[in-house]
Structure 1
Amino acid sequence: MTTPPVLGSDRLELGEGIRWTDGRTVLTDILTGRLLALPDGPDEPLEQITQLPCPLGAVAPVEGRPGHWIAAAGTGICHIDPAGGRVDWIGRPEDDSRVPMRMNDGVADPHGRFWAGSMAYEATENAGSLYRLDRDGHVTRVLQDITIPNGPAFNADGTVMYLADSARGVIRRYPVDPVTSDPGAPEPFVALTSGSPDGMTTDIEGCLWTAVWGAGQVHRYRPDGSLDRVVELPAGQPAGLCLGGPDGRTLLVTSARIGLPDPGPLDGAVLAVRVDVPGTPAAPYRPANSSASAPPDRADTL
């Protein structure tokens, strides 16, 4: 196996949420609460954009507000203004859960809504949910009884959503109503027999890429669910991925060291693999009132 380029000198505990946006790559180290950017050189440390006092799963840029982010963090969803050092909570629906919970992966869809999953710290079966932040700032639980949600990922027009339940080794495909944005009945898309599906993204051909935790691989699946390509990696726990770079043809993959009794030299690294089919930059969250500094605080609505 040829070792792919390693981006940055850091080794992350739980690297996730990698996104190509505004000409750069950002990512999270979930349990440390850090939002990071890739450096210019391969031997330089990652740049810290900000650090939250709680787990930080993933972010989406806010349209029209450079440097502002919507984030899946702590027990809910918040707005981050790193320049002002301000975190505004939009909703914290997992505050009163029966077991300790945290947010995990999240992404904005092509229509400007933000979707994020929650999971129990101890991966309690069926404790997780999927939430949607609408453009008006309202947070809704749209799916429940998930153990470890990862993704979601959307097709180009936002009418199809892929969501992994990593603990069960499955990826499901949901139709998404273009008017209400509610997901319909799921259908099985992929069931893995080795490793667990983790972070996901789609490319311009409508194929789905997923990191496979525990297998040291990334898989590309065609829209019919057939396996198209396997990328072998020198890190056993790839967790997040995106397609980025100036031409969209660089597969960027985060990995994790957490839980490994004897991590290898590239466990926790950020890796880059050139691919033939490009993706698109991360979709932004688009608040209904683009002049607002942040979505309204709806923490009391859940």
Structure 2
Amino acid sequence: MHAEQLTDPIVDHGEGPVFSDRWAGPRWVDLLAGDILELDPDSGPRRHHVGTVAAMIRPRLGGGHVIAGERGLLLADDDALDAPVRVLPEVWDSTEVRMNEGGCDPAGNLYLGSMAYDGRDGGGNLYRFGPDLAPTVAVPAVTISNGLDWSPDETLAYYVDTRTGRIDVFDWDAEGGLRNRRPFVEIDGEGGPDGLTVDAEGGVWVALYGGWAVRRYTPQGRLDAVIEVPARQVTAVTFAGPDLDQLIITTSRHGLSDDDAGPAGSLFGVRPGIRGRPVREFAG
């Protein structure tokens, strides 16, 4: 299968696509520009600047959305893309570390990973934010914390620390949180694992940064689908649309020359014949 280009190359480092039926279309971030974007099927893409970094956006259970800034959370009480945000206290002081990817668990807790700007080993943590907005470290000493999503039966969480070259899986429940981390699948060939999403059948879709592709693995860890993307740096994936049947793919042109970038930085989409699941919202 081949992904279709949905926008021009309008971002430097596209990441974190997500869809809510309260929004006009899928949203994503231009991470290092500090911008959030939305693709309206009628009027096209819109952009709103929120800070130095915008690492991720998720809808909030009570309305509005949460954004991962450089070192902490930004909260909006309204669903509009350009809604005013309240900036929460920073989680750490160091200017050498920033937020990266994350996701919400079935209980409404928000998980956000951090990473060092220089990518040094163990420079970040995976944090958990509960409804009270207080952060705790869920997984310490990670390097490039990326994709995180849960199985349809809510007993497993799939997680990527890109430097490991694999997707890991945790057991999960509301009382114990993430536990019993173990390898799910090693990523062979070109590219490293980046963002991921889990479909309604339990299949795990992972973006390959440097690999020109998105792969789907069955719950048993068998590769059973590949989406080819005409951009080298494929960053993240989600399902979108009224029927959750369109796979949305973000890409990055960060660090590429104009000659090498091509359509990198564009948003892509494909209809793979499998549906996703509604986004899990943040209870904070």
TM value normalised by structure 1: 0.86
- 2:50 aligned to 52, 60, 77, which one? 52
Of 179, 188, 208, 1:184 maps to 179
Q: Which runs of 5+ in 1 are unaligned?
A: 288-302
Alpha-carbon offset, residue 222 of structure 1: 0.8
Q: Which residue of 2 aligns with 1:253?
A: 249
Match of 1:130 in 2: 126
Aligned to 1:63: 61
Deviation at 1:171, TM superposition (A): 1.2
Quote the RMSD (CA, aligned, Å).
Answer: 1.8
- Pick from 167, 173, 178: which aligns with 1:171? 167
Q: How many percent of aligned residue pairs carry the same amino acid?
A: 31
Whether the 8 Å contact between 2:108 and 2:281 is mirrored in structure 1 is yes
- Which stretch of structure 1 is more off in the superposition, 162-171 or 195-204? 162-171
C-alpha offsets along residues 103-137 of structure 1, whole Å, 9 cap, x if unaligned? 00121222211111000111011111101111222
Q: Distance in 2 between matches of 1:169 and 1:241?
A: 18
Find the counterpart in structure 2 of residue 80 from structure 1. Answer: 76
Q: Which residue of 2 aligns with 1:206?
A: 202
1:72-151 correspondence runs (5 A): 72-81=68-77, 85-89=84-88, 91-96=89-94, 100-151=96-147
2:108 aligns to what SS in structure 1?
coil
Distance 1:254 1:171 in 2: 19
Q: What is the aligned partner in structure 2 of residue 300 from structure 1? A: none
Q: 2-side partners of 1:95 and 1:155: how far apart?
A: 34
Q: Counterpart of 1:235? A: 231
Deviation sequence 1:138-170 (CA, Å, 0-9, x none): 211111121101111111243211111112211
The alignment covers a number of residue pairs equal to 277
**Counterpart position of 1:264:** 261
SS of 2:32's equivalent?
helix
C-alpha deviations, 1:179-231, integer Å up to 9, x for none?
Answer: 24x21121101111331111100001111100001010001011111111111
8 Å Cα contact 2:9/2:264 also seen in 1: no
Deviation at 1:274, TM superposition (A): 0.7
Q: Distance in 2 between matches of 1:106 and 1:137?
A: 15
After superposing on structure 2, the runs of 4+ consecutive aligned residues of structure 1 that deviate more than 4 Å are 81-84
Q: Which runs of 5+ in 2 are unaligned?
A: none
Q: Which moved more, 1:131-140 or 1:198-207?
A: 131-140
SS across alignment from 2:178: coil
CA–CA distance in structure 1, aligned partners of residues 92 and 126 of structure 2 = 11
User: Could you tell me how far apart the structure 1 residues matched to 2:65 and 2:251 are?
Assistant: 22
What is the alpha-carbon distance in structure 2 between the residues aligned to residue 107 and residue 74 of structure 1? 16
Aligned counterpart in structure 2 of residue 216 of structure 1, from 196, 212, 215: 212
